[in-house]
């Protein structure tokens, strides 16, 4: 399956990298560059936060470091869709289809990612690693793909974890109970470390794919290939058997140490609170490789880029899950106010009363993070929080349309939960199927959309007013 590519017969996907995406953002006026020497501690994250939603930011010589840092490579849903060459309305559909129809990667021999090799490692000297939120314990690598191999089968997993710098060649890493931890436990039980790599600075689609809610042993780089319609080119690490994207800017090779835990945290997280300090797994770094003119990508914890990256793959998965049982479900959104994890809006083409409550229960089961579900009709714009609130204000009665479940599993990072035990709330904000047509008919002014203001308005309103009001 992972055949070595024949360069004469295969099209290279060397263009699918971070730097070409940055050039595209610059060409479309969405890349800012700072003066040299912005501080890696707090200042870089502060500038990034001020420009989130608006533009990517490139920081040359941060704290005098030779390698520049880039942040905010995603600004909104539209820029994510653009990075994979599709329109925003097709985003969830394309992601669903890429998860279902993965495209195996190919192996190459030469990689820009390995132009420069450091076998004597000093993380903070060799890489510009920022500190982001106020009470973060220190510098964190936040935008690295952690690629690890199933110790038995060699199948790879790709995910993003917060990585605290613990020493010149040591990284503390938070492994939630998903696939990387599963592979690590397998290795640790046989008394071994888990070979892995941290990959920094890749094409946006690779980062998006890493966040897919895929099954264990479904390689996320195959989802990345399917998203772009081209197999990803991978190269073998120099010190272990992990394969990494050849077009990456920077690769940190190492292993997660068996039977070692060190304090990690606090770290500013997506709910806009700090994830607590605790004893966590530790990576020993064995080599760093990078491009000659490498760029380091960072994501500010809890910032827009962080929220968006979690949002799209979760929405695609929840939509898939709901559509399996409910033909009326058309679209879903995890709202910004709900941290792009906790609050879900489901849009349906309603055909039967009662079904919204079944859909609410289905959504609770779709992901344990989901805490509130609002079901709305097709005439509500689910990208506009005011429209969703309007639907609740005019189509919902709490004694009839509210569903509450106590003591369910929720998010441990929700500070209002009881250590992750959480209540769930569902709101059916849909019209009754049998409603009389005019009762829920939205008001509308005929011709509003068609008005051409340039044909209607005069160019000098001040003069026109003076002409009318003479006294
Ligand atoms: Mn996985």
Task: Write the CATH number of the domain with boundaries 326-428.
Answer: 3.40.1670.10
221 Cα–ligand 1 center, Å: 10
182 Cα–ligand 1 center, Å: 10
pLDDT of residue 177: 86
Closest CA to 112 of 274, 5, 251: 251
pLDDT of residue 471: 75
106 Cα–ligand 1 center, Å: 19
- In angstroms, the first-to-last Cα distance of the chain is 85
Cα–Cα distance between 380 and 429 in angstroms, integer?
10
Burial class (CB in 10 A: 0-12, 13-18, 19+), 108: buried
399 Cα–ligand 1 center, Å: 41
110 Cα–ligand 1 center, Å: 26
Cα–Cα distance between 414 and 271 in angstroms, integer?
7
| Integer CA distances (angstroms), 447 to 452, 456, 457, in order | 10, 13, 16
What token pair was written down for 8?
């004469």
370 Cα–ligand 1 center, Å: 20
- Secondary structure (3-state) at 433: coil
Cα–Cα distance between 471 and 464 in angstroms, integer?
14
List, as ranges, residues with CB under 5 A of the ion ligand 1: 157, 179, 214
Cα–Cα distance between 212 and 214 in angstroms, integer?
5
198 Cα–ligand 1 center, Å: 15
354 Cα–ligand 1 center, Å: 35
39 Cα–ligand 1 center, Å: 35
310 Cα–ligand 1 center, Å: 14
278 Cα–ligand 1 center, Å: 24
Q: 78: how many CB neighbours lie within 10 A of its CB? A: 12
Cα–Cα distance between 216 and 225 in angstroms, integer?
18
Question: How do residues 365-421 score in pLDDT, each as one tens digit?
Answer: 999 999 999 999 999 999 999 999 999 999 999 999 999 999 999 998 999 999 999
147 Cα–ligand 1 center, Å: 10
Q: Would you state the CATH architecture of domain 7-304?
A: Roll (2.30)
What token pair was written down for 432?
């009754």
Q: 427: how many CB neighbours lie within 10 A of its CB? A: 22
The residues of the chain scoring below 70 in pLDDT are 1-14
Cα–Cα distance between 412 and 402 in angstroms, integer?
24
Domain segments of the chain as ranges: 7-304, 326-428
358 Cα–ligand 1 center, Å: 29
The pTM of the full predicted model, rounded to 2 decimals, is: 0.92
104 Cα–ligand 1 center, Å: 15
209 Cα–ligand 1 center, Å: 10
Instruction: Encode burial over 177-193: b for 16+ CB neighbours within 10 A, e otherwise.
Output: eebbbebbeebbeeeeb
DSSP 471: -
Report the run of H or E that residue 441 belongs to, with start and end. none
Please determine whether the domains at 7-304 and 326-428 fall in the same fold group of CATH.
no
């Amino acid at each position: 399956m992972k055949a070595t590519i024949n360069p004469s017969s295969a099209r290279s996907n060397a263009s699918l990298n971070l730097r070409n995406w940055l050039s595209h953002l610059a060409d479309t006026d969405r890349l800012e560059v700072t003066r040299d020497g912005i501080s890696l501690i707090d200042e870089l994250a502060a500038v990034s936060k001020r420009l989130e939603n608006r533009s990517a930011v490139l920081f040359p010589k941060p704290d005098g470091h030779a390698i520049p840092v880039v942040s905010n490579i995603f600004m909104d849903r539209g820029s994510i869709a653009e990075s994979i060459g599709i329109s925003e309305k097709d985003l969830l559909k394309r992601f669903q289809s890429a998860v279902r129809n993965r495209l195996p990667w190919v192996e190459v021999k030469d990689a820009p990612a390995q132009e420069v090799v450091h076998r004597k490692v000093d993380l903070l000297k060799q890489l510009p690693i920022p500190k982001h939120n106020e009470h973060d314990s220190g510098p964190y690598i936040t935008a690295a793909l952690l690629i690890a191999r199933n110790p038995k089968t060699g199948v790879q997993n790709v995910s993003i974890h917060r990585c605290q710098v613990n020493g010149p060649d040591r990284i503390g890493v938070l492994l939630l109970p998903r696939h990387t931890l599963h592979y690590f436990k397998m290795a640790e039980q046989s008394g071994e470390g888990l070979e892995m790599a941290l990959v920094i600075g890749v094409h946006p689609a690779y980062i998006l794919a890493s966040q897919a809610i895929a099954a264990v042993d479904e390689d996320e780089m195959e989802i990345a290939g399917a998203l772009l319609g081209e197999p990803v080119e991978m190269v073998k690490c120099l010190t272990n058997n992990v394969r990494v994207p050849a077009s990456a800017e920077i690769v940190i090779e190492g292993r997660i140490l068996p039977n070692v835990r060190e304090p990690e945290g606090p770290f500013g997280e997506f709910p806009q609170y700090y994830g607590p300090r605790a004893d966590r797994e530790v990576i020993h770094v064995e080599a760093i490789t990078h491009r000659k003119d490498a760029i380091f990508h960072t994501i500010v914890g809890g910032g827009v880029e962080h929220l968006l990256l979690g949002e799209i793959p979760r929405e695609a998965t929840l939509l898939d899950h709901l559509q399996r049982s409910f033909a009326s479900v058309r679209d879903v959104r995890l709202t910004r106010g709900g941290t792009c994890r906790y609050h879900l809006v489901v849009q349906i083409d309603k055909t039967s009363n009662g079904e919204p409550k079944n859909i609410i229960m289905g959504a609770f089961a779709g992901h344990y993070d989901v805490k509130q579900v609002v079901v709305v009709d097709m005439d509500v714009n689910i990208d506009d929080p005011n429209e969703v609130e309007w639907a609740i204000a005019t189509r919902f009665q709490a004694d009839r349309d509210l569903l509450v479940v106590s003591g369910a599993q929720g998010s441990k990072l929700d500070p209002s939960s009881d250590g992750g035990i959480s209540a769930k709330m569902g709101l059916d904000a849909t019209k009754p199927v049998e409603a009389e047509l005019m009762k829920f008919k939205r008001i509308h002014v005929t011709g509003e959309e068609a008005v051409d203001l340039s044909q209607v308005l005069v160019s000098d309103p001040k003069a026109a007013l003076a002409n009318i009001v003479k006294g």
